[in-house]
Chains A and B, each alone.
Chain A
Amino acid sequence: MPATWIKNGRIIDPKNNRDETGDLFIVDGKISARPAQDILDTAEVIDASGLVVCPGLVDLHVHFRVPGQSHKETIRSGTSAAAAGGFTSVVCMPNTSPAVDSAGTVQLIKDVVHREAVVNVFPTGTITVGREGEALAPTGSLASSGIVAITDGGKCVQNAGLMRRAVQYAHMFDIPVIDHCQDYSLSGDGVMNEGLVSAKLGLRGLPKAAEDMIVSRDVILSTHTGAHIHLQHVSSKTAVEIIRRAKARGINVTAEVTPHHISLTDAEVESFNTNFKMNPPLRSEEDRIALLQALEDGTIDCIATGHAPHTDYEKDVEFDYAPFGVIGLETALSLTLAQLYRSERLSLIGALSLLTHRPAEILKLKKGTLSEGADADVTLFDLDETWVPQDKKFFSKSSNSPWIGQELTGKVKTTIVAGRVVFDGTRILAD
């Protein structure tokens, strides 16, 4: 593979606290020091003038629907969306059909990834067999087959005793447990945040207490077992407080938040637009601000999209009957920049850390940095270019985005995986 010479970019590597204008070199798929002149003479040159050059983004939470629901997304379309959004590594959830509760299913996914993926895909396995919350899945076998964590992805193990055994057992293999925190006895059949807007619309509420209860439980289980539990898409102010206190006591929990939960509130649901239906639901402005503060002070460790594709016909129904979830890979960078960098809550380097080395470190992925010798996963983006997401124009197979028709700022121009350009700003260059 020829070397690549990325010239005159604003190179930002949050892990190494690097923010400088200069050149970046890739040799043999790895980040390299300046190579010898003869190598430079034949290097592919990418002019990065006016662009930010940062580590390829890392997303700990995507749904690629393979196997079983390829009408919503495939590994090819999902990883294309990732590349178009600047993501070079994604962790896919196991709520597929069948669920990823056996080494055989992991192997199946790995085979498809090998054939179709344009970015790195790290599979997860389930906590319980069939995500039924009743019996432990074979964590050891799953770990041996190459999963990076276990989770019932989209479901929460309700039985605290079973969850305790799950985290104890997974801890033995040094496998983190990822949890979608929701107490079903409290959330019931709610479809949106419980509060003023749900009271007005007559939609059934999903109370914050449902999330807070399980976040508390997981903190307690981590306290008693020492196991690492990663809390997905935190949405409530109280949950943030619980995590903040747990971290202050050194408890081994980490947490993520989505771009939509830091950008939107439940007021959006007044339109009954099902592209604002997600679980956990969009909360109040008070919660949104708490999430942003938690990203500022490190209580929440990273941003993850929760990329959840659904077809237009599945979402084009009454709000009650629409599936939860929105896509997010292609808009995450713009939204993160808007809420954290442009709002002056964080520096550019601080905002990008939430999408690069910090998520990578949570699952011990050797990704998210431009350190010499690291895999050459690199994203180049224009910090100031504006663009408007349009229905049917996503690289994802689905278009269930809350941002259709809205102007966003910050546009990915080039995505490089292991030294190879996979996205050139308009097209996926896969093969």
Chain B
Amino acid sequence: MPWNRKDLITIEELSVDEINTLFETADAFKKVLGRKTAKTPALRGKHVVNLFFEPSTRTRVAFEMAAKRLSADVTSLDMKTSSATKGETLRDTVENIRALAADIIIIRHSAPGSAGYIAKILDIPVLNAGDGAHEHPTQALLDCFTLREKFGSLEGRKIAILGDILYSRVARSNIWAMKKLGAEVTLVGPSTLVPHEFEQFGVHVSHNLKSALADKDAVMLLRIQHERQNASAFPSLNEYTSMFGLNKERLAWLKKDAIIMHPGPINRGVEIDSELADSEQSVILEQVTNGLAVRMAGLYLCNGGSAEAVVTK
């Protein structure tokens, strides 16, 4: 089970074997989480620094809790209030943090490529918690981990990703991950947010919700990032909901036992009806729980841990 990476930056560069290694490690950590004392000493003595240049609650907390479950010390920095606002470059910021003896850095940043950029600068593991609209690898891994739990395998499964694809790092990472694991992916949403260039990634692109949802095993909703939209991407949130929002009637267009996923945070009543978000078909909270195990696996593997060691513990 190979994992020779210092960093976890993109899904695009991971092999299927590496993804499966991470899943197997996450399986083991999920069992750990089910124990009475849900903690392992894997990263004892290590100092993990969470650098969040963008607002985040669940990803930041999930990484923080994952590191603590591995017995690491954790420092979480809200970089919006840091020296970065005084004009310090990202290179200087991370080199200073490295000089303070950080052992692992987790970074979220609005600029695509930023996590890869600091991974090249630093000699310690860097985990990408979202770089602009580029990638969010741990989100895709936890999503696919959840699908794997539900279906056993993603091979041949039909999955629709619905919403703001253009600005979504979750969509990009999931496209890579799902394709690598054998799923058939359909992107659906308004033409301004789902450009046809994506067809060249080997996915289907549709602007017709009904046909796009037909016979799908799962639908992954993306948050409509209305704070990022200029007014021209679509006329209004109401119009978006009326054309592309998931409601009970439209749920019937999917396979009967299809599951509903969402990386959060949810705009209830916008991309999804509130009652669907809480329905039995929704696995939204399972995704969150799995995010802990997946991030433990990512931290552990990038720090040089082996999957076998966890499995045999």
Contacts and interface: CB of A to CB of B under 8 A. Distances in A.
Contacts of B151: none
B172 A200 contact: yes
Nearest to A317: B89
A202 B114 CA distance: 12
A150 B77 CA distance: 49
B135 to A, nearest CB: 7
A202 B91 contact: no
Contacts of A321: 111
B113 A195 contact: no
B188 to A, nearest CB: 16
Contacts, number: 54
A272 B133 CA distance: 14
Contact of A318 (B90, B172, B200): B90
Interface residues of B, number: 27
B269 interface: no
Given A196-B197, A202-B112, A203-B112, A318 B134 contact: no
Interface in B81-117: 89-91, 109-114, 116-117
B234 interface: no
B195 interface: yes
B198 A319 contact: no
A318 B117 contact: yes
Contact of A202 (B117, B133, B195, B201): B133
B109 A202 contact: no
A313 B92 CA distance: 11
Interface in B169-207: 169, 172, 195, 197-198, 200-201
Interface residues of A, number: 16
Contact of B200 (A188, A196, A203): A196
Contact of B117 (A188, A196, A201, A272): A272
A296 interface: no
B133 A317 contact: no
Given A202-B132, A202-B135, A272-B117, A320 B197 contact: no
Contact of A316 (B91, B131, B172, B195): B91
Given A202-B134, A202-B135, A318 B197 contact: no
A188 B110 CA distance: 17
A199 interface: yes
A272 B135 CA distance: 13
Nearest to B134: A202
Contacts of B133: 202-203
Interface in A362-388: none
A199 B169 CA distance: 10
A202 B117 CA distance: 15
Contact of B111 (A313, A316, A320): A320
Interface in A192-216: 195-196, 199-203
Interface in B125-144: 131-135
A161 to B, nearest CB: 24
Contacts of B283: none
Contacts of A317: 89-91
B232 to A, nearest CB: 10
A271 to B, nearest CB: 9
Highest count of chain B CB atoms <10 Å: which of A195, A272, A313: A272
B140 to A, nearest CB: 13
Contact of B113 (A188, A199, A316, A318): A318
A34 to B, nearest CB: 59
Contacts of A316: 89, 91
Contacts of B172: 200, 202
A311 to B, nearest CB: 12
Given A199-B197, A200-B172, A318 B135 contact: no
A272 B166 contact: no
A195 B114 CA distance: 21
Contacts of B112: 201-203, 272, 319-320
Interface in B244-284: none
A199 B114 contact: no
B166 A199 contact: yes
Nearest to A269: B113
B273 to A, nearest CB: 29
Nearest to B112: A202
A319 B134 CA distance: 12
Contacts of A195: 197
19 contacts: A188-B230, A196-B197, A199-B197, A199-B198, A200-B172, A202-B112, A202-B132, A202-B133, A202-B167, A202-B169, A203-B132, A203-B133, A203-B134, A272-B113, A318-B90, A318-B111, A319-B112, A320-B111, A320-B132
Please provide the 8 A-B residue pairs with the shortest distance between their CB atoms, ordered closest to farther: A202-B133, A272-B113, A318-B111, A202-B134, A320-B111, A199-B197, A202-B112, A318-B114
